[in-house]
Structure 1
Amino acid sequence: MKVTGDLDDCTCDVETIDRFNNDQLFSKLQTLLESDYFRFYKVNLNKACPFWTVRSHCGLKDCAVQPCSPNEVPEGLRSSSHNKVSQSGSADQESPVWNLFEFYVHFFLFKVLILCFLAFSLSFIYVFCLCSKTFYSWLEGQCVEKRAFYRLISGLHASINIHLSARYLLDDSWFQKKWGHNVSEFRQRFDSELTAGEGPKRLRNLYFLFLIELRALAKALPVFQQPSFRLYTGRPEEDRRHKEQLLHILQLARSFPLHFDETSLFAGDEKEAAKLKEDIRLAFLNISRIMDCVGCFKCRLWGKLQTQGLGTALKILFSERQIEALPTSSSKRPSFQLSRQEISSLLNAFGRISTSIRELQNFRSLLAEER
């Protein structure tokens, strides 16, 4: 089950990522994600499933999501300022939508049961089935773009399964609930012998996903370096400090020595590349839409956030020219913008991947103790 050495389709290796994430990045990123700008997420959890009729939802109380009341949300996040990063860094003061269909949720209220994670994990099996005609059929060519897309989704699935195994409900007696690492569950999902050799591949795809999202963060640095950009919550001193923390993390991401080279993607014939981009866009759209079919609301929430985060990373990777053309003067409209939703999902999604890689270190230690 031990994963080591070089990764396919890139010049990086597992050991370099482990050292970088676990020793330099992880704790800084988690501290930033505790700030209010990243702790609230606006989402519609009541969209109808477009693929089949959802007859019921998870009945477990721990799978429910409680909306935040308006006065719980920081002032700067209540208006449409979170929708687009404006030149002034503040927003048009429009009335927010507060209803049953679209609401803010507070990430630190979550405590997810094993069944919730299982519902989310199983949803990815449905993804592969639903996308089979536009997914497996064009995987046969095995070009780098198709492999990359498959590995991103596989890596996301692996991350979910690591979180499932690391925060497992070990004991649910009448007087307490005990959560912790379930080594047996981890083995079931990643041991080479128990997964017909697929487990280690899944873990390598997790590292590949980490590289893609890390590269996006590094390339997004100029967007956040603009003087007009603020992590606007309405508390100026905190906003300034958190922007400094964000820039430090992005500069750290840029310093990584073995980044993925996205220029290797879509580098062939222009028409074929355009068609391939559209195929991947449609397959990715299906994955986003299927999150509306997940019965557990917490899993639905995290699924929406993580798929939006990955989509934002890909948007950044393929917007190099627009990012390079960003104006140096605040009087000009920027050629590339990210919404607060995109920013929040990008960093939170990467935070989940970073946590998964950190948890792998914990599982290695636990497995070594059993030998």
Structure 2
Amino acid sequence: MRNVLPRACCVLLSAWFFGIHGWFQQNTVKHNAQPGAAGGPDQSCFCHLTGVLDDCFCDVESIDVFNNYKIYPRIKALSEKDYFRYYRVNLRRPCPFWPDDGHCAIKDCHVEPCLESEIPVGIKSGNYNKVRPRHAHYPQSLYSQAANTMSDMTACEQAEELGAINSTLSNQSKEAFADWARHDDAQDHFCELDDESSPDADYVDLLLNPERFTGFKGPSAWRVWNSIYEENCFKPRSVYRPLNPLVPSRGDDDGEGFYTWLEGLCLEKRVFYRLISGLHSSINIHLCAEYLLDEGWGRTVWGPNVQEFRWRFDTAETKGEGTRRLKNLYFLYLIELRALYKVAPYFERAFVHLYTGNSREDGDTKELLLQVFSEIRTFPMHFDERSMFAGHTMEAKTLKEEFRLHFKNISRIMDCVGCSKCRLWGKLQTQGLGTALKILFSEKEIQNLPEHTPSKGFQLTRQEIVALLNAFSRLSTSIHHLHSFRLLLKESR
């Protein structure tokens, strides 16, 4: 069974999300002086995409300006760095819930794994897959020691060192392994993590396997999203209409009555639904922006498909739900932005290295990442996660655990996606969001990190780091694509 979790009573919350109104108002007037006035029916996707978001006081216009002019150029450049472009993933894990009967419609569903020779030497050496216990995390001291040692070795010495397997462990190392394993078991993991030491796990170059339309649709795709929405989004039994936005609504349903159930939920459950809806919206925007426009005579053309975008988000086509879907994307953006804000002190520690084996590249990558954190600190309307699971009551703890297990269940459903490329990006973005949630609820552990020595407390694996930054990059790209679709819709009038 995919959802056997007990239902918990919601905690009555006295605090709500906070924010500051009016930030960047002088910059946003020219972009959004009169919402909807720029385009009539052709701009109806954006007529109501304005103002304050639900469950927080940040507004859409401020996020647009902040993302498109400050964050997007930097996060795009960061995702192209070697440390972040290579992601280790197991795409062969069987679906735990039903037989995998999905088939790709076109050849572009295929994911091409990296050859051993293509993977940066530091990334290969930094995993320690040969000697570590399953699921154990390696402290950054070992990682930095490896970085310092490798930088002093010649190419031939590196090859010899990497080819040798040292299977001996000192008593001190064994004790450290036990500490890390115990800490790992106690962590608030929100995702079903791939075993990176599995022979079925491969390195994938994300730049050579971009997220785009693959033709994966039909019953197999619907079953994945239906399972996510219907069984894991806290749907009340009194709601009979499918939550999955891909399912057509009845002709007499204008969408307004449907959302009354959502407002009746407690804050945490509303947040959960909006996170999933925002992720779904972001993925759909990527597919619309990188759509297969032409395939013939030996050439393949990818580009924005305005009609597909209208079908998924236009007010008339979606009976008013398109704007809500887009607002949920902005809400998800704020969640992951807040996680990056919270985790910045971890990456600013001297012992945290983004190591690939190329010292100049690694220095540039770390500097660019710190620039991203510096920009994030200037944003004044951050999400306030302290309003969630407030207090130390049994209800709050039960609800938090239910929240965590629901999301972990969704990460397992990603192994049921039949299209390999869709599975790759689904797993990466789900793990990125799960890492963001782990960060948001690890505030004390992050605050207690030492300045110059590695900690036995809060840790992130390289897989989590790569997923976190790439997932946020996808959201940033989606919001940037929305600006492009605004222009295309205006031109198509």
- Fold conserved (TM > 0.5)? yes
Match of 1:106 in 2: 205
State the alpha-carbon separation in 2 of the partners of residues 84 and 196 from structure 1.
50
Indicate whether 1:349 and 2:471 are aligned. yes
TM-score by length of 1: 0.93
Please say which structure displays the higher CA radius of gyration.
Answer: 2
Match of 1:199 in 2: 322
Q: 1:323 to 1:178 in 2, by over 3 A?
A: same
Deviates more, 1:297-306 or 1:269-278: 269-278
Q: 1:112 to 1:209 in 2, by over 3 A?
A: closer
State the alpha-carbon separation in 1 of the partners of residues 399 and 211 from structure 2.
37
- Percent identical: 53
- Give the drift of 1:9: 1.1
Please give the per-residue CA displacement for 1:274-324, whole angstroms capped at 9, x wherever unaligned.
111111111111211111111100110111100000000011111110111
Please give the per-residue CA displacement for 1:31-70, whole angstroms capped at 9, x wherever unaligned.
1111110010111111111111113532632111121121
* Paired residues for 1:64-143 under 5 Å: 64-81=110-127, 84-90=138-144, 101-110=200-209, 114-116=213-215, 118=217, 122=222, 123-131=224-232, 134-136=234-236, 141-143=264-266
Partner-residue secondary structure (3-state), 1:172: strand
Q: 1:10 to 1:56 in 2, by over 3 A?
A: closer
Aligned residues: 369
Q: 1:85 to 1:192 in 2, by over 3 A?
A: farther
- Any stretches of 5+ residues in structure 1 without a counterpart? none
- Give 1 or 2: higher helix fraction: 1
Q: 1:179 to 1:47 in 2, by over 3 A?
A: same
- Give the drift of 1:148: 0.6
State the alpha-carbon separation in 1 of the partners of residues 394 and 317 from structure 2.
43
Of residues 190, 215, 227, the one that matches 2:350 is 227
State the alpha-carbon separation in 1 of the partners of residues 221 and 145 from structure 2.
37
Letter in 1 for 2:474: R
State the alpha-carbon separation in 1 of the partners of residues 229 and 442 from structure 2.
28
Of residues 340, 359, 365, the one that matches 2:487 is 365
State the alpha-carbon separation in 2 of the partners of residues 71 and 106 from structure 1.
13
State the alpha-carbon separation in 2 of the partners of residues 6 and 117 from structure 1.
35
Is residue 212–residue 286 contact of structure 2 (8 Å, CA) maintained in 1?
A: no
Q: 1:157 to 1:195 in 2, by over 3 A?
A: same
State the alpha-carbon separation in 1 of the partners of residues 268 and 478 from structure 2.
24
Indicate whether 1:208 and 2:331 are aligned. yes
Q: 1:56 to 1:24 in 2, by over 3 A?
A: closer
Partner-residue secondary structure (3-state), 1:200: helix
Letter in 2 for 1:129: E
Is residue 47–residue 292 contact of structure 1 (8 Å, CA) maintained in 2?
A: yes
Match of 2:39 in 1: none
State the alpha-carbon separation in 2 of the partners of residues 100 and 260 from structure 1.
40
Is residue 140–residue 353 contact of structure 2 (8 Å, CA) maintained in 1?
A: no
Match of 2:73 in 1: 27
Letter in 1 for 2:473: G
Is residue 290–residue 303 contact of structure 2 (8 Å, CA) maintained in 1?
A: yes
State the alpha-carbon separation in 1 of the partners of residues 431 and 196 from structure 2.
20
RMSD of aligned residue pairs (Cα, Å): 2.4
State the alpha-carbon separation in 2 of the partners of residues 117 and 156 from structure 1.
17
- Give the drift of 1:230: 0.6
Is residue 211–residue 287 contact of structure 2 (8 Å, CA) maintained in 1?
A: no
* Paired residues for 1:165-184 under 5 Å: 165-184=288-307
TM-score by length of 2: 0.70
- Give the drift of 1:173: 2.4
Partner-residue secondary structure (3-state), 1:358: helix
Is residue 310–residue 346 contact of structure 1 (8 Å, CA) maintained in 2?
A: yes
Letter in 2 for 1:277: K
Is residue 139–residue 456 contact of structure 2 (8 Å, CA) maintained in 1?
A: no
Is residue 5–residue 13 contact of structure 1 (8 Å, CA) maintained in 2?
A: yes
Match of 1:329 in 2: 452
State the alpha-carbon separation in 1 of the partners of residues 197 and 215 from structure 2.
26
- Give the drift of 1:116: 4.4
State the alpha-carbon separation in 2 of the partners of residues 139 and 196 from structure 1.
17
* Paired residues for 1:156-305 under 5 Å: 156-268=279-391, 270-305=393-428
Of residues 48, 53, 61, the one that matches 1:15 is 61
Match of 1:52 in 2: 98
Indicate whether 1:319 and 2:442 are aligned. yes
